[in-house]
Amino acid sequence: MVDFSLKGKIALVTGASYGIGFAIASAYAEAGATIVFNDIKPELVEKGLASYAELGIKAHGYVCDVTYEAQVQDIVARIEKEVGVIDILVNNAGIIKRIPMHEMKASEFRQVIDVDLNAPFIVSKAVIPSMIRKGGGKIINICSMMSELGRETVSAYAAAKGGLKMLTRNIASEYGEYNIQCNGIGPGYIATPQTAPLRERQPDGSRHPFDSFIVAKTPAARWGTTDDLKGPAVFLASSASDFVNGHILYVDGGILAYIGKQPK
C-alpha cells in the first residue's frame, strides 16, 4: 500500500497564515502532521491560528521574519524544544514586486531576492542538521512558472525563483545521502492575495486583460486554486516520494506545455 500518511510528522510551513502556505499546511494536518507556521506580523500569526482552529487544526504559530538568520535559528530551536524536530519544511514565504526592471531600485530587487531565495537557504540550513541526526527529512521549495519563464516587470521574482529551482537541486544533491529529499512545487497562476491585482475587474466590469490572458494560456482554461496544490504537496512530503529528489513538480494546469489558445 503506497503511504501518503504524514502521521507523527512535524511540518514547518513558512508564511502560512493564509494563501498557498495555509492550504498546504491544512492538507498536511489532514494527512496527520503537526503544523507549525510563522509570519512576520503577530496579528497575522493570531489570524492564522484562528483560521486553522476553524478547521479543527491546533497549529503552532511563531512570529519570525525568514530573512533574518538569527530569528530563524532561534525559532527552529524553540520549535524543536516546544513541538519537536522538524520532519518536513515547506519554504513558502514569498513576495513579488511588479516593476519594470529599468525603474526598479536595487533595494527593491534585493528585497525580493532576500525573501524568495536567501530565506529558503537560511531556513533550510537551520533545519538540515536535525534532519540528518533524525535520519532524514523532506524540504519542499515553492517555486513558480517564473522558475522557467520570464515576463515584463517581474525580473527580481524570476531571478529568485530560477535560483530557488537550482537551490532545490543542490540541496537534493548535497543531502540525498542523509535521506533528505528536496523537491520544488511550481504553482501556475493561483488565485491568492498575491495575484489579486492580476484578476481585478476593470472599471467597465470586464475581466482584467491579464486574467483573460492566463485563461487562454492554460489548457485547463482556469486559474488554479490553493486546493489544486494540496495533493502534490502531500505526495512530496510523504514516504511515497522517497525516491523523488531534485524535482520541480509543476502544478500549472498545463501552462508550460501549451502555446496558448489562438485569439478569436
Residues binding ligand GCO (CB under 6 A): 96, 98, 144-146, 151, 154, 157, 187-189, 194-195, 198
The number of beta carbons lying within 10 Å of the beta carbon of residue 17 is 26
Cell numbers given for 248:
520541480
Binder of residue 142, out of ligand NAP, ligand GCO, none (CB less than 5 to 8 A by kind): ligand NAP
Nearer to ligand NAP, 3 or 77 (CB): 77
Cell numbers given for 252:
500549472
Helix, strand, or coil (residue 183) = strand
Binder of residue 162, out of ligand GCO, ligand NAP, none (CB less than 5 to 8 A by kind): none
**109 vs 235: CA distance, rounded Å:** 33
Binder of residue 76, out of ligand NAP, ligand GCO, none (CB less than 5 to 8 A by kind): none
Cα Rg of the chain, angstroms:
18
CB-hemisphere CA count at 13 Å for 207?
Answer: 11
Nearest by Cα to 112 from 157, 142, 79, 80? 157
Nearer to ligand NAP, 195 or 245 (CB): 195
Nearer to ligand NAP, 7 or 198 (CB): 198
Nearest by Cα to 193 from 226, 222, 162, 221? 226
Q: Give least dist CB 94 to ligand GCO, A.
A: 8
Binder of residue 20, out of ligand NAP, ligand GCO, none (CB less than 5 to 8 A by kind): ligand NAP
Q: Which of 67, 168, 181, 241 binds ligand NAP (CB under 6 A)?
A: 67
Q: Which of 20, 90, 159, 237 binds ligand NAP (CB under 6 A)?
A: 20
Q: Give least dist CB 255 to ligand GCO, A.
A: 8
Torsion over CA: 190, 194, 195, 200 (sign)? positive
Regarding 44 and contact with ligand NAP (CB under 6 A), the answer is yes
Which one of 28, 52, 62, 157 is the catalytic residue? 157
Q: Which of 109, 175, 189, 250 binds ligand NAP (CB under 6 A)?
A: 189
Q: What is the secondary structure of 185-211 as a DSSP string?
A: EEE-SB-SGGGGGGTPPPTTSPPPHHH
Residue type (1 letter), 30: E
221: left (phi over 0), alpha (psi -120 to 50) or beta: left
Q: Has 157 been annotated as catalytic? A: yes
Spatial contact of 200 and 150, defined as CB atoms under 8 Å apart: no
Binder of residue 98, out of ligand NAP, ligand GCO, none (CB less than 5 to 8 A by kind): ligand GCO
Nearer to ligand NAP, 178 or 258 (CB): 258
Contact residues for ligand NAP, defined by CB under 6 A: 14-15, 17-21, 38-41, 44, 65-67, 92-95, 115, 142, 144, 187, 189-190, 192-195
> What is the set of active-site residues?
157
